[in-house]
Amino acid sequence: MSINRRQFLKIAGASAVMGLGGIAAIDVLRPGQFEAAQLSRNPKALVGKRWGMVIDMKRLDKETMQKCIDACHRIHNVPHFDNPKDEVKWIWPETYGHAFPGQESKYTSEEIENMPFLLLCNQCDNPACVRVCPTKATFKREDGIVMMDMHRCIGCRFCMAACPFGARSFNWRDPRPFIKEENREYPTRMKGVVEKCTFCYERLAEGLMPACVEESNGALIFGDLDDPNSEIRKVLQAHYTIRRKSELGTEPSVYYII
């Protein structure tokens, strides 16, 4: 049989593609070993349709705020870097003009100018970060929490560009050496993935309130915004609240009572 080089290469290429494709097809079409019935939720878990938070600035002072931040960063193994470039933070303080840019004026009272606003991921209802993630590594859960899947994140940081609230941090280097006290019950992250506050989903699964809410002495009110009888809805009815950059349409779930 006489076969020239081109034909040989064409046959070899086609065989390789079919071989690999065949293996892939078998992998995908093979029947699975697990059934959906094997999974269930923790019966203690708190269930909601849209988790939200109200931060009552009238009841939040600097010490309480620092306790909230420390609790969150401690139980979630959030690293502390000296170099501000590499900073990772899930919850942090800001002053009025920087928390609500566009709202500040020359004549705002000094009291408000110096209030220590507590900022965290707003767990938006229409999140820009989820819209842009190319792998669905950040996604919205049924209970409204904007979740991070560290196993899938490719570290492209599109979500960081998209978030209008600067809520996301990237692990520019290995965080482990910079964790003050390891919490062995919760994983750390590795370099190259994005992280942020996830409304303590792991605590909600055990029936506990988020760590910052617990430490806040009542200044942080957490609840299901979708439940008209929840405490948070009553608080929202009783007070005037503002949200950060609400004109952008991301529908933040974190409200502030000034």
Partner 1 sequence: MYDGWKVIIGIIIFLGIATFPFLYDLGKAAPPPIEPKIDTPEIQKMVEKKCVESKSFMKTEHMVLLDKWRDWYVREGRQIYTADDGKQYNISLCNTCMKCHSNKKDFCDKCHNYAAVTPYCWDCHIEPKEGNQT
Partner 2 sequence: MLEAALKGSRRYWGLVIILSAIIGLGFISYLRQFSYGLGITGMSRDVSWGFYIGQFTFLVGVAAAAVMVVLPYYLHNYKKFARITVIAEFLAIPSVLMCMLFIFVDMGQPLRVLNVILHPTPNSVMFFDMIVLSFYLMLNLLVGWTVLSAERKGTPPPTWIKPFIYWAIAWAPSIHIVTAFLYSGIPGRHLWLSAIMGARFLASAFAAGPSLIIILCFILRRYTKFDPGKEAIQSLGKIVTYAMILNVLFLGFEIFTAFYSTIPGHMHPFVYLYSGLEGHGKLVPIMWFSSILAVVSLFILIIPQIRRNEKALGVAAVSVFISLWLDKGFGLIVGGFVPNMFERVFEYWPTTPELLITLGVWGVGFLVLTILYKVATTIKEEVILDKYGEKQVKTR
Residues lying near partner 1 in the complex (CB under 8 A) are found at 33-34, 37-42, 45, 77, 139, 141-143, 147, 149-151, 182, 184-185, 187-190, 201, 205
Does 184 bind partner 2 (CB under 8 A)? Our answer is no
Query: Which is nearer to partner 1, 45 or 258 (by Cβ)?
Result: 45
Cα 103 to Cα 24: distance, rounded to the nearest angstrom: 55
> Would you list the DSSP string of 15-34?
HHHHHHHHHHHHHHHSPPS-
Does 101 bind partner 2 (CB under 8 A)? Our answer is yes
Does 88 bind partner 2 (CB under 8 A)? Our answer is yes
Question: Could you tell me the two tokens for 154?
Answer: 């490719």
Distance of CA 124 to the CA centre of its chain: 10
Smallest gap from Cβ 187 to partner 2, in A, equals 15
Cα 73 to Cα 31: distance, rounded to the nearest angstrom: 42
Cβ atoms of residues 148 and 160 within 8 Å: no
One of 94, 214, 226, 251 touching partner 2 (CB under 8 A)? 94
Smallest gap from Cβ 13 to partner 2, in A, equals 14
Does 171 bind partner 2 (CB under 8 A)? Our answer is yes
Q: Which does 166 bind (CB under 5 to 8 A by kind): partner 2, partner 1, none?
A: partner 2
Query: Tokens 């939200």 — which residue?
Result: 52
Query: Which is nearer to partner 2, 22 or 101 (by Cβ)?
Result: 101
Q: Considering only residues 61-80, where is the footprint of partner 2 by CB under 8 A?
A: none
Residue type, 133: C
Q: Reduced to 3 states, what is the DSSP secondary structure of residue 119?
A: strand
Q: Reduced to 3 states, what is the DSSP secondary structure of residue 91?
A: strand
Q: Considering only residues 108-147, where is the footprint of partner 2 by CB under 8 A?
A: 128, 131-137
Q: Reduced to 3 states, what is the DSSP secondary structure of residue 52?
A: strand
Query: Which is nearer to partner 2, 157 or 233 (by Cβ)?
Result: 157
Query: Which is nearer to partner 2, 72 or 204 (by Cβ)?
Result: 72
For the chain, what is the largest distance between any 2 Cα atoms, rounded to a whole number of angstroms?
92
Helix H or strand E encompassing 93: strand 91-94
Smallest gap from Cβ 97 to partner 2, in A, equals 7
Question: Could you tell me the two tokens for 202?
Answer: 């792991």
Task: List interacting residues with partner 2 (CB under 8 A).
Answer: 84-88, 94, 97-99, 101-102, 128, 131-137, 152-158, 160-166, 169-174, 191-194, 245, 248-250
